[in-house]
Amino acid sequence: MTPTAPTVVACYSVFDAFFPALGFTDLTDGMYEGNPHRPYDAAQARQAGVLLDRARVAPGDRVLDVGCGYGRILRTAAARGAKAWGITVSPEQVRRGTRAGLNVQLRDFKHLGPEWDGQFDAVIANGSLEHFAQPADAVAGRDDDIYRHLFSTVRRLGDPARADARFVTTAIHFRDRPDPTDLLRPPSAFPRGSAGFHWARLARSFGGWYPVRGQLARCADGLFRLVHEEDGTDDYRRTSEAWLAGARRELWSARVAAGALPVVLRRPIATVRMLRCVLGSESWNWQFRGDPAPTVLLRQTWERVD
């Protein structure tokens, strides 16, 4: 397995420079459940609790959060008496989590060693597996192998004595799989506002490639079975619109700009790309807009096959 793409690490460095200062508590969808009046923080808290419920995390259980962000899942798990570990490829997130007293380590999930085997009662990947495969992997036909490796790794991390061990994922899926070679081209190669333009901007800003519906279940065959699936696309749309409104309102304040300046100076290209993608073309939000939207956000629960 190849290491995490530099674009992914850079994207989180940029996000971590801005998001906490804007008051956002995490980098994934909240759960509004059709209630447009539910506050952002309440939607985020609801999602964390539901994912842990679906993972059957109880007091004393050991849970691993793959791509733990700012630790929302870790805090919620600890509050119910579980023991929670988080891994991330973002050094900034490790520093933030460590300062908050969370057990967070700088690790690439694809390269966890045998010392991690059999250590967990549940594993959660909340919005992280979109970064596992890259467009070049899809061009080379490696995306199935990467997702298969994901499930085989989760299987070995689970305690073999835990018969009901579960793996819970939230992941953006392509509604219609684009040509992966298009994501390797510059956005300028496409008409502005076209699907190809937006996919190219997203690939350069965030790094990653999405599965299509049914692909993960195929790759999990013989390792895990899908026991629950839920469409959370509208939830992610509402979350992303809240992010966009907050960024437009506060991004250029002296407080936010001053805090972000070190990362902007260290990663100027990544910062410009991200601002153009999120605030300029609004490509991040584009993928959740429309009926149907170009993507589908699926929350899925998997049980180990014995």
68-113: pLDDT as tens digits: 999 999 999 999 999 999 999 999 999 999 999 999 999 999 999 9
pLDDT of residue 19: 85
- φ/ψ (deg, to 5) at 159: -65, 120
Give the CB-side neighbour count of residue 176, counting CA atoms within 13 A.
5
CB 136 within 8 A of CB 183: no
- The stretch 23-45 carries a mean pLDDT of 93
Quick one: pLDDT band at residue 237, thresholds 50, 70, 90?
Answer: very high
pLDDT of residue 1: 61
pTM: 0.95
Using CA atoms, how far residue 197 sits from 2, 175, 296, in Å, is 27, 17, 19
Rounded CA separation 2/163 (Å): 31
Domain 6-304 adopts which CATH fold? Rossmann fold (3.40.50)
CA-closest candidate to residue 18, choices 293, 193, 261, 186: 261
| Neighbouring residues of 301: CB distance < 8 A, sequence distance ≥ 6 | 54, 55, 166, 167, 168, 226, 227, 228, 229
**Edge-to-edge strand list for the sheet holding 295-304:** 104-106, 83-88, 62-66, 122-126, 166-174, 295-304, 224-231
Q: Which tokens go with 187?
A: 């956005």
- What share of the chain has pLDDT > 70, as a percent? 99
CB 109 within 8 A of CB 153: yes
pLDDT of residue 26: 84
Quick one: pLDDT band at residue 15, thresholds 50, 70, 90?
Answer: confident
pLDDT of residue 2: 66
Quick one: pLDDT band at residue 146, thresholds 50, 70, 90?
Answer: very high
Q: Is the pLDDT at 3 greater than 70, yes or no?
A: no
Quick one: pLDDT band at residue 266, thresholds 50, 70, 90?
Answer: confident
- The stretch 169-196 carries a mean pLDDT of 97
- The stretch 169-190 carries a mean pLDDT of 97
CB 269 within 8 A of CB 6: no
pLDDT of residue 160: 94
Q: Give the burial class of 192: count Cβ atoms within 10 A of its Cβ; 0-12 exposed, 13-18 middle, 19 or more buried.
A: exposed
CB 130 within 8 A of CB 296: no
Average pLDDT value for the chain:
94
Coil, strand or helix at 159:
coil
Rounded CA separation 212/229 (Å): 14
- φ/ψ (deg, to 5) at 97: -65, -40
- The stretch 239-252 carries a mean pLDDT of 92
* H or E element that contains 302: strand 295-304
The partner residues of 169 in beta bridges, in order of sequence, read 125, 300
pLDDT of residue 5: 80
| Neighbouring residues of 38: CB distance < 8 A, sequence distance ≥ 6 | 30, 32, 46
